[in-house]
Amino acid sequence: MTDTSTDRHGESERKLNRLKQSWRDGRCTLGAIATIPSVQTVQVMGRSGLDWIIIDMEHGPIDAAAAHAMIVATAGTPLVPLVRVPAASAWHAKLPLDLGAMGVCFPMTTRRADAQAVARAVRYPPEGERFWGPFYAPLRWDVSMRQYLNSANDEVLAIGTVEHIDALDTIDEVVSTPGLDLVFIGPGDLATSMGLKGRTDDPTVQAAILKLESTILASPVALGGVAPTAERAKAMMAKGYKALVVGFDWSLLQQGIAAVVSGIRPAT
């Protein structure tokens, strides 16, 4: 059944973002990070069982035009389009949101001020610092401009990333910040900040992740992470993770090709 309500103008409204309800229902959602500026790749990902994608405008070669095309390509699929940006500011969040992204993921959410910036960047005043201009977002979600504006502050996700060793001392203040919906633990940058780049399975890094996990799980904020294997994903789901990155588009493509080749050609 479609979740609908009526706003004060008498227009029928429906929930645009199904992720929040999934988390409230206790369901872990699965997603991948899209770094290839390709509509076709998004179309394939949209029919592969994923719940969401993060379109990477921080590390990937994806510009605004490509991001818009990729967001539009999620229409008619189960994918909720999210975008990753390089800094926690309303200026960085404004464009992908106006193009139709249903959430923005920000890096280095280490202190309360960072978390506040994340929460305010995706919301219209008085709750935040986003200003008007969503010319294409209502078209992506098949609603009127009024319906989009009325629902955007509730529907759009404010997503932080905890990925620095300093966050071990400040994680309580991060997750107690009003308006923060989801926090990813970023193992790669966390390990790098500890002088252990590329060694995310090091016991010291794993101990830091355990400390972050326990604090986030005890908070109202949903916990997200990276699951490199199915076994790891199942273990993280059992802990209470609500959003898991199962791979990048490039890594999933590489793994698929490698599996085919290794099944044909003997290892040398």
Could you say which of 59, 68, 92, 164 is catalytic?
59
Q: How many Å apart are CA 5 and CA 12, to the nearest integer?
A: 6
State the DSSP H helix or E strand holding residue 22, giving kind and residue range, or none if neither.
helix 19-24
Q: Which of 226, 84, 207, 208 is nearest to 157 (CA)?
A: 84
The conformational region for residue 75 under phi > 0 = left, psi -120 to 50 = alpha, else beta, is: beta
Residues contacting residue 22 through CB under 8 Å, at least 6 positions apart: 29, 51, 242
User: From CA 236, how far away is CA 254, in angstroms rounded?
Assistant: 24
Cβ 158 vs Cβ 164: under 8 Å: no
For the question of residue 59 being annotated catalytic, the response is: yes
Q: At 104, which helix (H) or strand (E)?
A: strand 103-105
For residue 24, with 0-12 CB atoms within 10 Å meaning exposed, 13-18 middle and 19 or more buried, which class applies? exposed
Please identify every residue annotated as catalytic: 59
